[in-house]
Structure 1
Amino acid sequence: MKIGTCIYLEKFLESPDYYKENYRYLEIQDFVMPTNLDNHMEDILSMYKNNLSDYKGTITVHAPYIDLKLTSFDPLVQSVFIKRCHHALNIAMKLNAQYMVVHSDYERKPNYEDYKDFFLLQSTSFWKSLIKDFQNMGITAVIENVHNPSGSLIRQIIEEVNNPYLGACLDIGHAHAFGKVQLSNWIDCYGPLLKYIHINDNNGELDQHLPLGEGSIDFFSFFQKLKEVGSESVIMCEVFGNKVTEEKNLMYLSKFF
């Protein structure tokens, strides 16, 4: 299986060898923070390049999302999202990343009737305009659900753009806490478009990023479903904590493979 974990520099430097030896994929998340993009980018890049020079696995990058709004009515607000996305894509290229995770900004409580149509129009237009840049760099973009009630709108965006460098990222913690359908429904909905999965646990109400087995997600059924459909998605652990937490989480995960 394609097992990975999410890191930021401070966490990674606690034990670089542990992360490089135990995970085939590492998702760098430092650049979700605006201050790291604007003030510390070169230093962070340099540290990662030095410490990952002997890493044989695959690097992925999480795009910025804090205070960003792609599907805003205001073009100036949209332009900030687009600028940050280009910024992150440039970073991904410098790190020789193969994936970039980008949040869907679907509103938790849409407050007008035509919201879904507007969301689809804005999102599809953006991805059609940018996906060639990803393709030219050999980087696959994956759209991550956050407050989406199901995978249907993300699937529609991907199908409309119709480019192999755009796929779906299923965050099962978000789906469990904020979604309206079972996890198996997300897997069926995405089908072969599902290229990337964030896994962690929670109580079904909050996005807690707990180690597997400490919340209420039924991981046995989830992984059985993945096996049934023959999924080849990257499985990316996204658990809050230190190396000890990572080890505990990985041990639980090993039950399924």
Structure 2
Amino acid sequence: MTDLPILGAALTVDALETHRKLMLDKPRDLELQDFWPAEVLNGDWKPIVEKARKLLDGHQGRVGIHGPFFGFTVDSMDVDVREIVRKRLLQGLEVCEALGGTHMVVHSPYTTWDFNNLDNYENARQRKIELCHLTMSDAVKRAEEIGCELVIENIEDKDPYARIELAESFGSQAVKVSIDTGHAHYAHGTTGAPPVDYYVRAAGNRLRHIHLQDADGYADRHWTLGQGTINWHSVFGALSKLESDPRLIIELRDHSGLPASIANMAALGLAQ
């Protein structure tokens, strides 16, 4: 990326209505976050999509969603739970197709416990990947069909490379890597993981999506960019080396901090 990158945002449809002018002033990528609850996916979500599409008239960036994640992991050993997870992922992709979305966030199954124990059991690493394939194979196929990327986001991941190995194991252009800066910073500060820019370098051009949030290295804060202790110069320096054009999605707990996040990164000369 040679020019200053353009920052997008993760918003609910209601927050998009509030920040619509900002999201349309440049080709800012958008991630809608209304569609992860089971109650929404099992219900009539079409009016929400309809409202979003109207609000997106004139929008020039890419659109995607945060997929379902609460209450399960994509490596479940329970065959009945696995069927529910398969269903949820396909429901999310149905929403993506209706929106014209090009990405859906999927949470990494790798835990802090895994970092210390996967090599404590024979073939545990491969078994974890096999379980993910049993759960995700239908979703990967469907994502390929509709031109959507499943981007696997680090959650507890202490090892920046484990979920990269998982993504590549599918052998599909529909499975790529995501980074959440606050999650990586938490892992760095609390579990001894590498700093955030190392996660970016590890992913390299497999990186197609990033959640930008500031934090303190202790918890998952989702603060306004510039309010925490993440070294943004190192993060954007690493991003500047990439050619994969990742979606740069500001993901805040308080959406009112979106304009300040963009302004703070612009003031540092890092983004617009």
TM-score, structure 1 length as denominator?
A: 0.91
Counterpart secondary structure, 1:169: strand
State yes or no: 1:87 paired with 2:96: no
State yes or no: 1:56 paired with 2:56: no
- Counterpart of 1:105 in structure 2: which amino acid? P
The verdict on how the C-alpha distance between 1:124 and 1:151 changes in structure 2, with shifts beyond 3 A counting, is farther
> Any conservation in 1 of the 2:151–2:176 contact (CA below 8 Å)?
yes
Aligned counterparts of 1:12 and 1:200: Cα–Cα separation in 2: 18
Q: Alpha-carbon deviation of 1:128?
A: 4.2
State yes or no: 1:250 paired with 2:254: no
> Any conservation in 1 of the 2:186–2:220 contact (CA below 8 Å)?
yes
2:45 aligned residue (32, 41, 46): 41
Counterpart secondary structure, 1:31: coil
- Counterpart in the other structure of 1:213: 226
1:239 aligned residue (252, 266, 270): 252
- Counterpart of 2:158 in structure 1: which amino acid? P
Q: Alpha-carbon deviation of 1:137?
A: 0.5
- Counterpart of 2:70 in structure 1: which amino acid? I
Aligned counterparts of 1:228 and 1:138: Cα–Cα separation in 2: 26
- Mapping 1:24-39, distance limit 5 Å: 24-39=28-43
Q: Residues 94-143 of structure 1: CA distance to partner in whole angstroms, max 9, x if unpaired? A: 00011111111223434673353432221244444432211110111111
State yes or no: 1:5 paired with 2:27: no
1:171 aligned residue (180, 184, 187): 180
- Mapping 1:145-224, distance limit 5 Å: 145-179=154-188, 180-224=193-237
- Counterpart in the other structure of 1:118: 127
Structure 1 runs (4+) deviating above 4 angstroms are: none
Aligned counterparts of 1:14 and 1:185: Cα–Cα separation in 2: 35
> Any conservation in 1 of the 2:168–2:175 contact (CA below 8 Å)?
no
Counterpart secondary structure, 1:256: coil
Q: Alpha-carbon deviation of 1:2?
A: 4.5
Q: Alpha-carbon deviation of 1:22?
A: 4.5
Counterpart secondary structure, 2:73: coil
2:146 aligned residue (128, 131, 137): 137
Segments of 5+ residues of structure 1 without an aligned counterpart are none
Q: Residues 24-53 of structure 1: CA distance to partner in whole angstroms, max 9, x if unpaired? A: 211001111222222351221121122223
Aligned counterparts of 1:102 and 1:78: Cα–Cα separation in 2: 15
> Any conservation in 2 of the 1:170–1:197 contact (CA below 8 Å)?
yes
- Counterpart in the other structure of 2:69: 65
2:20 aligned residue (16, 23, 28): 16
Q: Alpha-carbon deviation of 1:23?
A: 5.0
Q: Identity percentage over the alignment?
A: 22
The verdict on how the C-alpha distance between 1:19 and 1:161 changes in structure 2, with shifts beyond 3 A counting, is same
TM-score, structure 2 length as denominator?
A: 0.86
Aligned counterparts of 1:57 and 1:227: Cα–Cα separation in 2: 19
Segments of 5+ residues of structure 2 without an aligned counterpart are none
Larger mean CA deviation between 113-122 and 79-88 belongs to 113-122
Root-mean-square deviation (Å): 2.0
Q: Alpha-carbon deviation of 1:91?
A: 0.3
Counting matched residue pairs gives: 256
- Counterpart of 1:100 in structure 2: which amino acid? M
Aligned counterparts of 2:102 and 2:137: Cα–Cα separation in 1: 19
Q: Alpha-carbon deviation of 1:182?
A: 2.0
> Any conservation in 2 of the 1:127–1:161 contact (CA below 8 Å)?
no
- Counterpart of 1:64 in structure 2: which amino acid? P
Q: Residues 153-185 of structure 1: CA distance to partner in whole angstroms, max 9, x if unpaired? A: 111112221212211001111111025112232
> Any conservation in 2 of the 1:120–1:157 contact (CA below 8 Å)?
yes
